[in-house]
């Protein structure tokens, strides 16, 4: 509106401009005219001051209490450049312990520019698809930011992928350039590539990145990350990452950068991350500059609220997951934090060592990672006194685990729980440092700024009252553009009003906090009673104190009741436990509703997991059916 008035005068419409200026109108934040209040004694109240309906399961994130612009049109590259300008030139921003690398923000930005120019020299540009098949390393960080500067689409590939999953990624996304490790644990990446594209390495000439494969016709370039202190697996004629970087001059030798960041815009897709694939082949979720930058700028003030120290953030969780490369790296850049990667994959020893060595005051991790840390023989709270805050996400966070962390680590002032998925940018809600203990432990908080949450009836898709269970829907600036090359799958989860259907079951309490019960597909209907496995799992964990390390409840077919429950239980210690199947069921019957007590209890050494560490419920369900349904059918035949 102010621009409109000034333009009137500029273009010769002085009468209209003076009319607006003389009329004592003021312009509010949204560009609307409003009379100055001193001219009126009557002030409108009521509906304009209270537009909320506390009975409806709908909430939206409140605007941030800062003077920052509501939404930012910056790209990832521009965000990094602005951070470099304001940060101390000597401030270390990136530490990769297992590679013995420490870089300031300026040094990192220079390396990113070099890689971006090197990638451009082999044909990568706006819209090019660059696959990254690697564990946590310095090269991973460089590729993330270099591709974003170019406007290329970085495809984050799980390092645990085998032939079938990798081939699905190639065919689904159309990868043109692949940057890869040489091995991961027992996986030989060279053999996997040869299996899906025989002879591909022999097509590389004299260290050139260019390759050819009839099986992967879209793949034009292949770059291998150098092995440090280990034997090289892939033939030396294939281009190494260090060779690619050396094709571009050092920053001080460059006359002018050829990377034009104006070529990419904030709405361009620059990231593809695969869903975990617990119910089928993974889908590629696209994210834009806008999705990632907004998520970073709105979650950072929540995670780092009232934190007076320089953030030193230990990130042992994988970068190929949105928790790592958005909540981990991008949000940290907003506060000029020091990002510390303790190892290529999660390892308790290296994580504990890095926390102690670098004085980390933040620790990120999934519930499994936190649990493993607490149980490790080298865990000593006295060595971790620098830790002030923890961020736990990536899977449901058991209340018992949260309580135990606080009891065991007295220096840890807060554990914050972000909730969301890649499709939501990724963070949709988060607990805050000022939340009460009940909300911190049992909820996933309130929406971050400008995110809407709605809970609907699973069948009718209509809003439900507060405290009533239903499917959780999210609509926001973080909502992803869709699944790459799968519009049909996108239409299944985004409705006509742009609500993303999460597939999660939960409810909004009377204070507007979101609670998660589980997945719709996991809900069990036993004799007409809706049972949420997560609720039963938490009850079992709470009632048995420390005897059980983890439990997962599955539904199986039952002729009489429709479904019955099976609880797979991992004991903390076989020697110390006082439970067997019968005694545990007898105990649970005295403590919980009869219909929530599992019919079958089976003790396991561990659970089948996805490459990201999530429990493969489909595998557990198949195990349960074979053990209790198929065997019962066989007995009846006899």
pLDDT tens across 521-535, in order?
888 888 878 888 888
Q: How many CB atoms lie within 10 A of CB 427?
A: 28
Do 99-265 and 523-637 agree at the fold level?
A: no
Q: Two tokens at 28?
A: 């509010």
Name residue, tokens 């022999």.
Answer: 202
Is the pLDDT confidence value at 27 over 50?
no
Q: Which of 185-194, 274-283, 469-478 has the highest mean pLDDT?
A: 469-478
pLDDT in tens, 574-619: 666 678 888 888 888 888 888 889 999 999 988 988 766 778 888 8
Say which CATH topology domain 99-265 has: Rossmann fold (3.40.50)
Q: Worst-scoring range by mean pLDDT, 227-236, 334-343, 406-415? A: 227-236
Is the pLDDT confidence value at 177 over 80?
yes
Percent of the chain with pLDDT over 90: 64
Is the pLDDT confidence value at 16 over 50?
no
pLDDT of 206 reads 84
Rounded Cα gap, residues 161 and 189, in angstroms: 9
Contacts with 44 (C-beta within 8 Å, 6 or more apart), sequence order: none
Rounded Cα gap, residues 309 and 411, in angstroms: 14
| DSSP states along 348-412 | HHHHHHHHHHHT--EEEE-HHHHHHHHHSTT--GGGGTT--EEEE-SS---HHHHHHHHHH-TT-
Q: Two tokens at 353?
A: 């060592």
Rounded Cα gap, residues 169 and 218, in angstroms: 12
Rounded Cα gap, residues 165 and 283, in angstroms: 11
Rounded Cα gap, residues 585 and 142, in angstroms: 53
Q: Two tokens at 499?
A: 């609500």
Q: Worst-scoring range by mean pLDDT, 45-59, 141-155, 340-354, 472-486? A: 45-59
Question: Can you point out the beta strands (E) in 241-337?
Answer: 269-274, 284-288, 312-314
pLDDT of 394 reads 85
Residue scoring higher pLDDT (491 or 398): 491
For residue 448, give the nearest of 333, 295, 289 by alpha carbon.
295
The pLDDT mean for the chain works out to 86
Residue ranges per domain, the chain? 2-51, 99-265, 523-637
- Assigned CATH for 523-637: 3.30.300.30
Taking each helix axis from N to C terminus, what angle separates 399-408 and 367-375, rounded to the nearest 10 degrees? 40
For residue 558, give the nearest of 517, 522, 600, 521 by alpha carbon.
600
Rounded Cα gap, residues 169 and 175, in angstroms: 8
Cα 208–chain centre separation: 35
CB 374 within 8 A of CB 408: yes
Rounded Cα gap, residues 291 and 299, in angstroms: 12
Q: Is pTM beyond 0.75 here?
A: yes
Mean pLDDT, range 332-357, rounded to an integer: 96
pLDDT in tens, 429-467: 999 999 999 999 999 999 999 999 999 999 999 999 999
């Amino acid at each position: 509106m102010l621009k409109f008035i000034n333009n009137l005068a500029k273009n010769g419409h002085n009468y209209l401009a003076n009319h607006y200026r003389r009329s004592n109108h003021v312009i509010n934040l949204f560009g609307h005219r409003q009379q100055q209040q001193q001219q009126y004694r009557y002030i409108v109240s009521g509906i304009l001051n209270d537009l909320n309906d506390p009975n409806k399961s709908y909430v939206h994130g409140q605007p941030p209490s800062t003077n920052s612009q509501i939404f930012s049109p910056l790209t990832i590259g521009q965000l990094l450049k602005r951070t470099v300008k304001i940060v101390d030139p000597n401030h270390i921003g990136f530490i990769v312990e297992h590679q013995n690398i420490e870089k300031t923000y300026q040094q990192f930005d220079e390396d990113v520019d070099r890689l971006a120019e090197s990638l451009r020299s082999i044909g990568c540009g706006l819209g090019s698809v660059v696959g990254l098949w690697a564990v946590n390393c310095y090269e991973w960080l460089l590729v993330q930011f270099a591709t974003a500067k170019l406007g290329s689409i970085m495809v984050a590939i799980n390092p645990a992928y085998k032939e079938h999953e990798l081939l699905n990624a190639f065919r689904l996304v159309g990868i043109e350039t692949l940057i890869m490790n040489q091995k991961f644990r027992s996986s030989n990446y060279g053999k996997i590539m040869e299996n899906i594209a025989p002879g591909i390495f022999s097509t590389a000439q004299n260290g050139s990145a260019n390759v050819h494969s009839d099986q992967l016709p879209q793949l034009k370039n292949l770059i291998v990350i150098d092995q440090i202190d280990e034997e090289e697996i892939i033939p030396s004629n294939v281009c190494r990452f260090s060779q690619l970087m050396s094709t571009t001059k050092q920053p001080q030798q460059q006359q002018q950068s050829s990377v034009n960041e104006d070529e990419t815009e904030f709405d361009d897709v620059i990231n593809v991350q695969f869903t975990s694939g617990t119910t089928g082949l993974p889908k590629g979720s696209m994210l834009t500059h806008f999705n990632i930058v907004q998520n970073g700028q709105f979650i950072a003030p929540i995670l780092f609220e009232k934190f007076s120290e320089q953030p030193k953030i230990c990130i042992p969780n994988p970068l190929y997951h949105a928790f790592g490369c958005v909540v981990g790296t991008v949000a940290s850049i907003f506060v000029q934090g020091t990002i510390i990667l303790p190892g290529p994959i999660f390892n308790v020893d290296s994580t504990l060592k890095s926390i102690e060595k670098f004085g980390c005051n933040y620790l990120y991790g999934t519930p499994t990672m936190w649990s493993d840390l607490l149980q490790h023989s080298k865990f000593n709270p006295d060595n971790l006194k620098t830790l002030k805050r923890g961020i736990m996400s990536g899977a449901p966070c058991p209340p018992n685990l949260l309580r135990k962390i606080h009891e065991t680590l007295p220096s840890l002032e807060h554990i914050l729980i972000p909730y969301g998925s890649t499709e939501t940018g990724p963070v949709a809600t988060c607990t805050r440092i000022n939340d009460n203990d009940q909300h911190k432990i049992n909820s996933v908080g309130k929406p971050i700024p400008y995110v809407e949450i709605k809970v609907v009836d699973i069948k009718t898709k209509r809003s439900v009252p507060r405290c009533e269970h239903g499917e959780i829907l999210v609509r926001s600036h973080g909502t992803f553009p869709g699944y790459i090359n799968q519009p049909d799958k996108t239409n299944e989860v985004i409705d006509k009003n742009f609500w993303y259907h999460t597939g999660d079951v939960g409810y909004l309490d009377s204070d507007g906090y979101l609670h998660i019960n589980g997945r719709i597909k996991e809900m069990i209907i036993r004799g007409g009673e809706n049972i949420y496995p997560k609720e039963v799992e938490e009850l079992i964990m709470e009632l048995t104190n420390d005897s059980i390390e983890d439990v997962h409840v599955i539904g199986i077919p039952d002729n009489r009741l429709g479904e019955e429950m099976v609880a797979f239980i991992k004991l903390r210690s076989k020697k110390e436990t006082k439970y067997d199947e019968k005694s545990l069921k007898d105990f649970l019957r005295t403590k919980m509703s009869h219909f929530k007590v599992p019919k079958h209890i089976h003790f396991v050494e561990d659970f089948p997991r996805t490459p990201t560490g999530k429990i493969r419920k489909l595998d557990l369900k198949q195990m349960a059916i074979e053990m209790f349904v198929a065997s019962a059918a066989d007995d009846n035949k006899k």
